[in-house]
Every structure is written in structure tokens, then in C-alpha cells.
Structure 1
């Protein structure tokens, strides 16, 4: 849940300071929530959801079971989530989403895959 709060905040291009101010807490407190150091209570989660304009259930969503069961192990899934919420991961995904042509998207996936295999 904490990672989903962070991912949603980053996807909406909000800083911790900005979201914390919207919720009425310090950015340090928000940081502790996002890292899982402090539990996010129901009331606080509702405030965060309202500020991010998403339903509370959004933070409980994970990848569909069948989407990762055969392809991504738990540790790889953790690595993937860390990448997706990183600055580079968000920037890459935002740029990739702007590409509308499916063939171009597939070409980019193939290119990145080829480069990754060379750097193993």
C-alpha cells in the first residue's frame, strides 16, 4: 500500500512536500508513510486518496495475479516496482505512453531488450 501511495504521487508529478501540504502533514510524515516506516491509518489514507483524486481502493491494487505469476518472481517484481516509481522509471513510462504507434512501441521494447541482453 505504501509503495502505491508513492507511485501514485510520483505519477501525478507531485512532490512529497506538495502532497503533505494538501493532506495537512509534514513531508517527513508522508515520507515515513511512503517507506512503510509508519502505518497509514484509515483516516489518513482517505485524506491522501482525496488529495490524489483516486479511490482508497486504488492503493490496495496490485498487478493481476495472472500477469505476473509465470513471468515475474516476487524479488523481480519488487525490483520492477522500485524501478517504476523511480525518477527514471516514471520519466521513461511517461514518454513511452505518448507513443501511439504499436509498431514503434514494439520496436522500442525490442531495442531495450537487445541492449539489456548485452549488459548482463
Structure 2
């Protein structure tokens, strides 16, 4: 049976959050009475996570249950036999799979305590994204920031 895109997305979000808090698959499994292999299957989307289990994960990882579904807007809804029942994924939708580097950057970013600094970093990254060859010296200095 093919993997369901929603199960894969939820599994990726589980892996992202678990990694962000620095928890191993083994530790998370122990906390809910599962093996690390089962956690691995959930994270890969090979096994569907039931509602009560998802609620456990949300509680243990300090996120609302809706966290696991963020970014699913526009994803297709499929039947058990794989037939598409609703909207297709837009071509420009972001990937739901994260690299170690993505997670490392996110963990470091969350470690920053100052909201103003976080905002400046976001603005810097967007500026770099909009103009990949732009001279960074052209960006406003700290004294120029609002």
C-alpha cells in the first residue's frame, strides 16, 4: 500500500519537533511505550499515527496537535485505495522534508532570546533570498533598524 502524503507530512513534523527538542527516537518511544523502530515508521509515514498517540506526542513535545498539520493546506485528500478525492498540491508548495542543516538552523534560531534580533535575521534571510548575489554591506546597519 502506498504511503499517504498526509501521513508522511505528519511524520516529518514529528521528526522535526523531536529533533528540535534534542530527543532521540528511543527516548520518545520509551516515554509512550513504543520501540524506536515504531517511532521511525511514524516519522517516515510508513505507519499512520492515531489521534490519541498524536495527542501524546504533542503533549510530550510541547506543541499543539495542530502543529503536525501545519503546511498541509492544498495537499490532496486520497481514499484508502489511493484515489485522489480533493485538491492537488500547488507546484510551488514548500517541501515537507527537512535536512539536518535545516533543523540545526531552526534550533539555533529558537535559542535566540531577543525578538528584535530574530526579526532582523528573518529580514536578512528574506533579503538574501530575493537577491542572492546582493552585497550584504548594502543591508541596513543596526543603527538604521526600526
TM-score, shorter chain, exceeding 0.5: yes
Give the TM-score normalised by the residue count of structure 1.
Answer: 0.66
Answering whether residue 112 of structure 2 is matched by residue 93 of structure 1, we say no
* Structure with greater Cα Rg: 2
Give the TM-score normalised by the residue count of structure 2.
Answer: 0.56
Aligned length: 103
Change (3 A) 1:96 1:14: same
Change (3 A) 1:19 1:113: farther
Separation in 2, partners of 1:73, 1:6: 23
Stretches of structure 1 that go unaligned for 5 or more consecutive residues are: 66-71, 116-120
Please point out which of 113, 116, 119 is paired with 2:132.
Answer: 113
Paired residues for 1:1-120 under 5 Å: 1-62=10-71, 73-74=92-93, 77-78=94-95, 81-82=96-97, 85-97=98-110, 98=112, 100=117, 106-107=123-124, 110=128, 113-114=132-133
Separation in 2, partners of 1:46, 1:102: 31
Which structure 1 residue ranges, 4+ long, deviate > 4 Å from structure 2?
Answer: 101-109
Separation in 2, partners of 1:46, 1:8: 14
Deviations 1:50-78 (A, max 9, x none): 2112222221222778xxxxxx713xx12
Separation in 2, partners of 1:27, 1:4: 16
SS at match of 1:48: helix
Higher helix share: 1
Separation in 2, partners of 1:54, 1:4: 11
